[in-house]
Amino acid sequence: MTRQERRRQTEERILGAARALFAEVGYERATIRGVAAAAGVDPALVMQYFGAKDELFRRAIHAPGEQPLEIAPERLADLLLEAIRFKLGETDDGSLALFRSMLTHPDAAEHFRTATARQVREFATGIPRPDGELRASLLVAISMGLTIARELLRLEPLQEATPEQIVDLLRPAFQSLSASG
Amino acid sequence: MTRQERRRQTEERILGAARALFAEVGYERATIRGVAAAAGVDPALVMQYFGAKDELFRRAIHAPGEQPLEIAPERLADLLLEAIRFKLGETDDGSLALFRSMLTHPDAAEHFRTATARQVREFATGIPRPDGELRASLLVAISMGLTIARELLRLEPLQEATPEQIVDLLRPAFQSLSASG
DNA sequence: TGGTTCGCTCTACATTCGTTGAGTCTCAAC
DNA sequence: GTTGAGACTCAACGAATGTAGAGCGAACCA
């Protein structure tokens, strides 16, 4: 194995450990030393590779292949429900790290705000109404609340339910919010 | 003014400053020194009165008159929407402090979990169905997501909308989730 | 094979935090 | 008016954290 490969591999291991730790305890309680220990590496190396804790976090929450989903104006509700069903149960640590930290870490909050604003505008094009953006915001708020309650707070009834069950119950709600008529 | 009154008043001032600071920046970033400064008091006094930071937080999030609302089995949706409309725009710092910190502070998470579990059981009695608890959990998750998005993250379209607008848009969703038929 | 680069570690510093114990000052009781 | 209690402050400690710089050892290039 070449030197460059080994270096890249170590960096990826640190990034993975960081993602997991940020997702588990949030930005403030996750320490450089903790990340380094989880990655089997010296804390100074983390600094050397990422410069600062903020930068490490920024890299950690940056999901690799996050392509925007297509919007068919009428089937928006179904598409969103599909996305939620997919995400529930298999939410990636990057997103969880962002969710976990966005209430206490200003950078995380800002990142989420801009990402959400883009998503809201995107959804809103599928809801041709004067209050389209508000409806889209509610859709985002609802799915955010759902992920937080189930994956982070681990509320019992939600955690035990299957994604299909949840999505079925949520369908009327999403349809009424995304109704274009 | 007697000595006891003055003492009580100081304690209340500290508690108010703590509530506000916890609500603004969360448990980890709020410091005893910060609370003390906001209350115009020495940090040591905060310790003397509350013993530890954890205890201060516990006292800060303990809302004074939080009586459980009555549940008329059929009008559950309307009652919940009423509660949401009331809370939106005038959410107390104690609740915001709890929301802000519950993803990163284990004690806050535990407090929220038990409070929510009780609330879910309460709502579930108004939804006589096999999946009543799951439906109730979804209702809680939705209103939590709404409060977080609007009051803590301050997402624009949500913040600009009036409580009435929001409640109106949410009504079908709540009715479908709390439908007892 | 000798030198140099580079991945990586060791040690340490400065800051900030929660927390503590001694001390000060004011007010109430006798 | 003296005394004592209690509200409040001062100064400091120990631990943890982000961060910096020097140094080590092995892999690469000549």
Interface touch A120/B157, C-beta < 8 Å:
yes
- Which nucleotide is closest, CA of A31 to its C1'? D17
Decide if domain B3-61 falls under CATH 1.10.10.60.
Answer: yes
Task: Choose the mutation target among A134, A143, A167, A180 for the interface with B, i.e. most B CBs under 10 Å.
Answer: A134
pLDDT in tens, B153-181: 999 999 999 999 999 999 999 999 998 65
Cβ of A67 near strand D (distance < 7 A):
no
Of the candidates B42, B149, B92, which has an alpha carbon nearest to the alpha carbon of residue A112?
B149
Task: Give me the residue spans of the domains in chain A.
Answer: 3-61, 76-178
pLDDT in tens, A143-170: 999 999 999 999 999 999 999 999 999 9
Of the candidates B19, B10, B61, which has an alpha carbon nearest to the alpha carbon of residue B39?
B10
Q: Tell me whether B176 touches chain A (CB under 8 Å).
A: yes
Alpha-carbon distance values, B137 to A71, A121, B113, B127, B179 (Å): 29, 28, 11, 11, 14
Quick one: which H or E segment has residue A29? helix A3-29
Q: Tell me whether A172 touches chain B (CB under 8 Å).
A: yes
What residues of chain A lie within 8 A of the CB of B137, using their CB? Answer: 149, 155-158
pLDDT in tens, A38-78: 999 999 999 999 999 999 999 999 865 444 445 556 678 88
Question: How many Å does it take to go from CA B7 to C1' D30?
Answer: 80
pLDDT for the residue numbered A68: 47
